[in-house]
């Protein structure tokens, strides 16, 4: 949202001996914040209150479906999402975004079977607010609220994995590890924690292994919804970063992992199926981030990898050992490259020999104007090669590469000094035949143009400069 972290930027700069313009940064940041604020600005209409029923019950720990009544609603408008409605029920199975976990999605079913989709769920002033695009037609009747089960299960698997990951990191890296934030989505999880160094491959493997061992261990979900805070802490429950806790708290335990948590979880760690770390990196000085996947996402990940491997094997004519097959291809490729290089050198040598035999003596210079099948770099090499043997050369080469024309002029420095010739001027002059232009130094210059048909004419005119 606000780009690369500033403290990390400062760190990198100081390592390179630079300092940070923090005043300039603050000003630019304020500007950006104003910009994104105006983009997300929301206008809210007044609440329409349907019933004075106070108190709202969250039943989403135990059920994903419930009969509910709308207590109040209002219309909101934002640039980002357009018109939406916010609905509050007397009771809801929908988990509101919190503790890093995304809000539930799902739908409301009306008595006549009509469906209104719930796009997101958030908590505001201790009320659970459901976001919809339209308003139910039967606002005063009992509606069935149904949470999207697939998304909830995937989110629960990811959320529960963050508990095990937290425990694993403290076990593998040490007790200095503290959770600094998390984002739990249906598709992946993100976990930020305090640690001073990049995790080694071995540490990552150990962390993954620790979590997967607890998944294989089929640890049951064990919760206590109302524990006095002090008691929970004495039991060793870890409080999570950025959370506010009341006098009584909910503790969530899987084996030896025990945390204060209001989120939703799998009933058994076996439901997570498998845990796979996708990336590890720095987010700020002393803070690392792990992104990982579980359950269906891991299955997709393995399936995708498997498909790629299968395709590679196919390309390698079903080699038994694709790794070995790729290695031998690389070896063969290196060998071929060397062969091509030596052939190319041989060809250049032959060409040089041939061209030297074609040199024509005019006015004390050895002259050649010819079309060759080489690129710009090849022509330059050839010209300087020839020039290293003779010091009385006037060469003009033309070539056509990818439909474009190139002229290249080389004049030995002796000749430049003696006869006052200038390769730069000459290619500029001849460039008009190929509808282009160029320049360079008095002893070497090139011109490019879009008309290859003019190359022969330009070569014909080269002799005029010798007189």
- Enumerate binding residues for Zn ion (CB under 5 A): 252, 261, 263
CB atoms within 10 A of CB 47: 13
Q: How far is the CB of 151 from Zn ion (least distance, A)?
A: 17
Q: What is the DSSP string of 155-200?
A: HHHHHHHHHHHHHHHHHHH-TT--EEEEEE-SS-EEEEEE-SSPPP
Q: How far is the CB of 158 from Zn ion (least distance, A)?
A: 10
Q: How far is the CB of 101 from Zn ion (least distance, A)?
A: 8
> How many CA atoms lie less than 13 Å away from 257 in the CB half-sphere?
24
List, in order, residues 6 or more apart from 182 with CB less than 8 Å away. 99, 100, 162, 189, 190, 191, 192, 240
Residue closest to Zn ion, measured at CB: 261
- Measured from the CB atom, the residue of 68 and 189 that comes closer to Zn ion is 189
- Measured from the CB atom, the residue of 268 and 457 that comes closer to Zn ion is 268
Are residues 183 and 189 in contact, defined by beta-carbon separation less than 8 angstroms? yes
- Measured from the CB atom, the residue of 164 and 261 that comes closer to Zn ion is 261
Distance in angstroms (rounded) separating the CA atoms of residues 54 and 156: 30
Six-digit token string for 193: 């924690």
Q: 């084996």: which residue's tokens?
A: 255
Is the Cα dihedral 113, 117, 121, 127 positive or negative?
A: negative
Q: How far is the CB of 124 from Zn ion (least distance, A)?
A: 21
- Measured from the CB atom, the residue of 238 and 411 that comes closer to Zn ion is 238
Six-digit token string for 423: 């390769």
Secondary structure percentages of the chain, helix, strand, coil, to 5:
40, 30, 30
- Measured from the CB atom, the residue of 249 and 382 that comes closer to Zn ion is 249
- Nearest-10 crossing angle of helices 322-357, 376-389: 50
Q: How far is the CB of 199 from Zn ion (least distance, A)?
A: 23
Q: How far is the CB of 220 from Zn ion (least distance, A)?
A: 15
Of 217, 220, 218, 262, the closest CA to residue 237 belongs to 262
Q: How far is the CB of 163 from Zn ion (least distance, A)?
A: 6
- Measured from the CB atom, the residue of 241 and 301 that comes closer to Zn ion is 241
Q: How far is the CB of 160 from Zn ion (least distance, A)?
A: 7
Torsion angle, alpha carbons of 195, 196, 198, 199, to 10: -40
Exposed / middle / buried, residue 379 (Cβ in 10 Å: 0-12, 13-18, 19+): buried
Six-digit token string for 178: 């503290």
Of 164, 372, 376, 390, the closest CA to residue 266 belongs to 164
- Measured from the CB atom, the residue of 68 and 272 that comes closer to Zn ion is 272
- Measured from the CB atom, the residue of 261 and 423 that comes closer to Zn ion is 261
- Measured from the CB atom, the residue of 263 and 387 that comes closer to Zn ion is 263
Task: Provide Rg for the chain, Cα atoms.
Answer: 37
- Measured from the CB atom, the residue of 252 and 266 that comes closer to Zn ion is 252
- Measured from the CB atom, the residue of 68 and 261 that comes closer to Zn ion is 261
Q: How far is the CB of 263 from Zn ion (least distance, A)?
A: 4
Q: How far is the CB of 287 from Zn ion (least distance, A)?
A: 21
- Measured from the CB atom, the residue of 258 and 395 that comes closer to Zn ion is 258
Are residues 360 and 367 in contact, defined by beta-carbon separation less than 8 angstroms? yes
DSSP 270: G
Q: How far is the CB of 268 from Zn ion (least distance, A)?
A: 14
Q: How far is the CB of 259 from Zn ion (least distance, A)?
A: 6
Q: Which residues are paired to 410 by β-bridges?
A: 395, 444
Q: 């430049």: which residue's tokens?
A: 416
Are residues 454 and 435 in contact, defined by beta-carbon separation less than 8 angstroms? yes
Six-digit token string for 372: 């060759």
Six-digit token string for 162: 């963050």
């Amino acid at each position: 949202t606000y780009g690369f972290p500033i403290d990390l930027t400062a760190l990198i700069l100081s390592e390179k001996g630079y300092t940070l313009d923090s005043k300039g940064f603050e000003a630019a940041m304020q500007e950006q914040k104003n910009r994104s604020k105006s983009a997300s600005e929301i206008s809210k209409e007044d609440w329409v209150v349907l019933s004075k029923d106070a108190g709202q019950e969250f039943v989403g720990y135990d059920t994903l479906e419930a009969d509910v009544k709308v207590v109040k609603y209002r219309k909101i408008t934002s640039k980002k999402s357009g018109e939406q409605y916010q609905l509050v029920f007397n009771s809801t199975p929908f988990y509101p975004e919190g503790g890093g976990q995304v809000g539930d999605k799902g739908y409301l079913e009306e008595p006549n079977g009509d469906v209104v989709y719930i796009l997101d769920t958030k908590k505001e002033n201790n009320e659970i607010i459901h976001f919809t695009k339209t308003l139910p037609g039967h606002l005063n009747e009992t509606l069935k609220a149904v949470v999207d089960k697939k998304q909830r299960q995937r989110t629960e698997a990811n959320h529960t994995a963050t508990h095990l990951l937290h425990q694993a990191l403290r076990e593998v890296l040490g007790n200095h590890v503290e959770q600094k934030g998390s984002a739990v989505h249906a598709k992946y999880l993100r976990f930020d924690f305090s640690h001073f160094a990049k995790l080694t491959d071995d540490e990552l493997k150990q962390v993954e292994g620790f979590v997967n061992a607890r998944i294989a261990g089929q640890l049951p979900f064990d919760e206590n919804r109302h524990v006095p805070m002090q008691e929970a802490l004495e039991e060793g429950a870890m409080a999570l970063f950025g959370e506010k806790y009341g006098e009584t708290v909910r503790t969530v335990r899987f084996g030896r992992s025990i945390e204060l948590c209001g989120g939703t979880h799998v009933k058994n760690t076996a439901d997570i199926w498998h845990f796979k770390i996708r990336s590890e990196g720095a987010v700020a000085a002393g803070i690392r981030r792990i992104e990982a996947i579980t359950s269906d996402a891991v299955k997709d990940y393995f399936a995708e990898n498997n498909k790629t491997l299968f395709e590679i094997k196919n390309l390698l004519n079903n080699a038994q050992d694709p790794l070995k097959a790729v290695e031998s291809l690389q070896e063969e490729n290196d060998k071929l490259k060397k062969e091509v290089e030596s052939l190319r050198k041989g060809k250049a040598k032959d060409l040089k020999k041939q061209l030297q035999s074609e040199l024509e003596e005019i006015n004390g210079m050895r002259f050649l104007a010819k079309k060759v099948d080489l690129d710009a770099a090849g022509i330059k090499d050839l010209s300087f090669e020839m020039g290293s043997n003779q010091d009385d050369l006037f060469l003009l080469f033309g070539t056509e590469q990818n439909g474009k024309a190139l002229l290249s002029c080389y004049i030995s420095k002796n000749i430049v000094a003696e006869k006052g010739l200038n390769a730069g001027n000459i290619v500029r002059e001849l460039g008009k035949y190929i509808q282009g232009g160029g320049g360079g130094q008095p002893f070497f210059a090139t011109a490019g143009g879009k008309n290859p048909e003019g190359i022969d004419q330009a070569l014909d005119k080269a002799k005029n400069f010798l007189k």
